[in-house]
């Protein structure tokens, strides 16, 4: 599904100028139909899935208990 710059800005929660800048830099793929840029919204699906996966990975890492140090129990 193709969306316009204002729709994409709302979807990504950033301003329209930033979206247009990213399109002109080539960081967001878009089609120019002569009047406006159209962006395939599907290209962000994988990005958001990866962000969610990364967030879960970080949360798992942060909640992992710290193992006891081997040297602590070694009393000579």
Q: Please compute Rg for the chain using Cα positions.
A: 22
pLDDT tens-digit profile of 18-75?
A: 999 999 999 899 999 999 999 998 888 887 888 899 999 999 999 998 877 766 665 6
Put simply, whether the predicted model's pTM sits higher than 0.85 gets the answer no
In a domain, 35, yes or no: yes
In a domain, 75, yes or no: no
Helix residue ranges per DSSP H, the chain: 5-12, 16-25, 45-63
Closest of 49, 40, 51 to residue 7, by C-alpha: 40
What is the spatial distance between Cα 22 and Cα 9, in angstroms, rounded to a whole number? 11
If one counts the domains in the chain, the total is 1
Range of the domain at 11: 2-65
Closest of 46, 41, 47 to residue 2, by C-alpha: 41
């Amino acid at each position: 599904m193709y969306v316009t710059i204002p729709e994409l800005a709302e979807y990504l929660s950033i301003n329209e100028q930033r979206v247009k800048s990213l399109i002109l830099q080539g960081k967001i793929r878009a089609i120019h139909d002569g009047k406006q840029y159209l962006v395939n919204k599907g290209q962000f699906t994988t990005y958001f899935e990866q962000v969610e996966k990364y967030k879960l990975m970080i949360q798992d890492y942060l909640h992992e208990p710290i193992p006891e140090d081997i040297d602590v129990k070694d009393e000579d």
